[in-house]
Structure 1
Amino acid sequence: MNVGDIINYLNEIAPWRYAEEWDSVGLMVGSRDSNVTKILLCMDVTSDVILEAARCGAQMILSHHPFIFSKLKSIDMETFKGDQIAKLIKNNITVVSAHTNLDTAPDGVNDTLAESLHLTNCQNLKPYIPKGLNCDLGMGKIGELLNYKSFDEFVKDIKKNLGIENLRIIGKKPEKVKNIAVFCGSFDDDLENLKSRKVDVLVTGDIKYHTAIDAAQMGLCIVDAGHYATERMILPKLMDTLNKRFKELDIICSKMEADPFTFA
């Protein structure tokens, strides 16, 4: 089994062409010809994750967020990023990243976030048609709870299902909620589209300050559950998917990463 086999399969379940034009996806460091017996899944390729991969004998790291986002003009091993790349190469670890292609793919991050909140009858929140394709993959999802819930009860469910203790609330809290929108990771600031869809609340992972100000003035309610929490649940699902396809591989989720934000 080599890295190329994994990349080709990822292209089947979350095609690279689904990624947004500004994104960086695919092979980040290493070679498609490298042999693989163990894969470490993570949200971000941190120094701790690199050390974890080296210690557990993983030849490949599959991350959600791109390890290399902006174009590198040089690899200076005296810099933080250069040192990370050097450690990856020294330990023969290949890095592959699947980002917005995995967000929008069927059973991807947005679908998984909707499932985590037990939404039914899900539709796309807004259109997203990648360049050169005729299919509308959609950005974000809109769905329904089986029954109306009080807002406070729904917030408790979010915390329980996403494994968090804190979240931020923007705007006026509705008394009851049923029609829910989700947008994994960073919200794209399209408040006009959100308002036109007449949802009771949006659950997302990142809201900018001025977007929050505008949302509140527009009468919208948004729950910011954190970037990490709204995307992390894709990892065990991806692990199961890869295990079914590559039974001979040892595939694990990182135990060395966590939400970078803590609350005092």
Structure 2
Amino acid sequence: MSRTPSARNVVSLLENWSPKHLAMEGDPVGLMLGSLDKSVENVLVTLDVTEAVVAEAVEKGADLIISHHPLLFMPLTEVDTTTPKGRVIQQCLRHDITVYAAHTNLDITTGGMNDWMAAAMGIKETEEVVPTKKDQLYKLVAFVPEEDTDQVRRALGDAGAGHIGDYSHCTFNSEGTGTFIPGDETDPHIGNQGELTFVPERKIETVVPDSKLSRVLDVLADAHPYEEPAYDLYPLSLEGESFGLGRIGTLASSVQLDAFATSLKEIFNVEGLRVVGDLGRKVQNIAVIGGDGSKFWQQALAAGADVLVTGDVKFHTAQDAEASGLALIDPGHHTEAIMKQPVADRLAQDAEASGYQMEVNASDVNTEPFTFL
């Protein structure tokens, strides 16, 4: 049966595949404004939170705005409602709209911003350009009554536990006996208050990456029949999945730089772009870093890129890259608007799978500030 989720429930769905801990140090991700405890019937996904976007959210009845670019990137010393930022905050508070940002964590996560951009350009067999971290692995050991083992084991696997290579739901199970005495304030699933209880239990052992740990523990609490599930958690000295900014991969065949650059205008729906390098040269190894990634051009070159696609390229950066043999294509920062529909679709899909009743829309507002003449 469907139920209305809270903003916290919706954010949990998002953080299950774009966890905050993946964000670059100092990046202001997470709750920007409002409350995570409010009910959410309508979500609006946007690149930026502007006055026009907030007006759209009000018109569509959105309770929650999920943006890529943080509304509050720098600390505020005052909220002046005569300024654009102040009016945005005022309108969100007036209409009880919560604002949440997934920024560099969405860039870095597998199946996030840079994977969407790479896929749109036809880049195959991608790897990260700038490694940022490896997922810490944990062993989770849960103790479950025998009759509830199947449902708990399945729930843990569905939440991301027990993934080893191409195998999922991997666990080891052993039998034992659990004992406990329910206290006076308890409502025990098994046994009686004040009496020593012996219960045939199964010990379920499985591996959990740090990026899935919060979600898995929440699911364990929900799926386990006890008021206080018993479990152990051990850090492992094994390397998990590697994460990083940007993606580098190959096109199916080489193409001239000018033809490749021209194709990006349609792919990213931009009127114009800037290109650095010999337009007649052939390129096949392509690196992409969403947003402002030109500072990482040397890492892209070292990774074997013929060309780096990114925004906000500075004059001297362009000169240095050109002199080093790396071509650059700057289609602008707004290319990241590609995230709106995939995030909306993923949230809607995960909400339905979780039994949540809510509507998710991608913003129709174009937040690109530049016009080509």
Q: In which range does the TM-score fall when normalised by the shorter chain?
A: over 0.9
Distance in 2 between residues matched to 1:258 and 1:46, nearest whole Å: 8
Match of 2:309 in 1: 203
Q: CA deviation at 1:209?
A: 2.1
- Structure 1 position 156 matched with structure 2 position 262: yes
Question: Which of 250, 257, 261 in structure 1 is aligned with 2:366?
Answer: 257
Q: CA deviation at 1:79?
A: 3.4
Q: CA deviation at 1:174?
A: 4.9
Match of 1:214 in 2: 320
Q: 1:166 to 1:188 in 2, by over 3 A?
A: closer
Query: Which one-letter code corresponds to 1:253 in the other structure?
Result: A
Question: Which of 50, 53, 58 in structure 2 is aligned with 1:49?
Answer: 53
Aligned residues: 263
Query: Which one-letter code corresponds to 1:263 in the other structure?
Result: F
Deviations 1:12-35 (A, max 9, x none): 110011111121111111101111
| TM-score normalized by the length of structure 2 | 0.67
Match of 1:236 in 2: 341
Deviations 1:235-257 (A, max 9, x none): 11111101111232111111122
Question: Which of 128, 131, 137 in structure 1 is aligned with 2:132?
Answer: 128
**1:90-129 matches, cutoff 5 A:** 90-129=94-133
Match of 1:181 in 2: 287
Q: 1:81 to 1:130 in 2, by over 3 A?
A: farther
Question: Which of 3, 6, 17 in structure 2 is aligned with 1:2?
Answer: 6
Q: SS state of the match for residue 242, structure 2?
A: coil
Moved more, 128-137 or 16-25: 128-137
Contact 1:172/1:219 (8 A) holds in 2? no
- Structure 1 position 190 matched with structure 2 position 194: no
Match of 1:82 in 2: 86
- Structure 1 position 29 matched with structure 2 position 29: no
Q: CA deviation at 1:158?
A: 1.4
Moved more, 155-164 or 100-109: 155-164
Deviations 1:141-193 (A, max 9, x none): 11111112222321232122112231100133352111111111101513332
Q: CA deviation at 1:198?
A: 2.5
Deviations 1:112-133 (A, max 9, x none): 1000001111111121127987
Q: SS state of the match for residue 105, structure 2?
A: helix
Two-structure CA RMSD over aligned residues (Å)? 1.8
Distance in 2 between residues matched to 1:172 and 1:147, nearest whole Å: 18
Structure 1: gaps of 5 or more residues: none
| TM-score normalized by the length of structure 1 | 0.94
Structure 2: gaps of 5 or more residues: 137-209, 211-238
Deviations 1:25-58 (A, max 9, x none): 1111110111110111110000001111111111
Query: Which one-letter code corresponds to 1:16 in the other structure?
Result: K
Moved more, 131-140 or 56-65: 131-140
Distance in 2 between residues matched to 1:116 and 1:174, nearest whole Å: 23
More strand by share: 2
Q: Percent identity?
A: 35
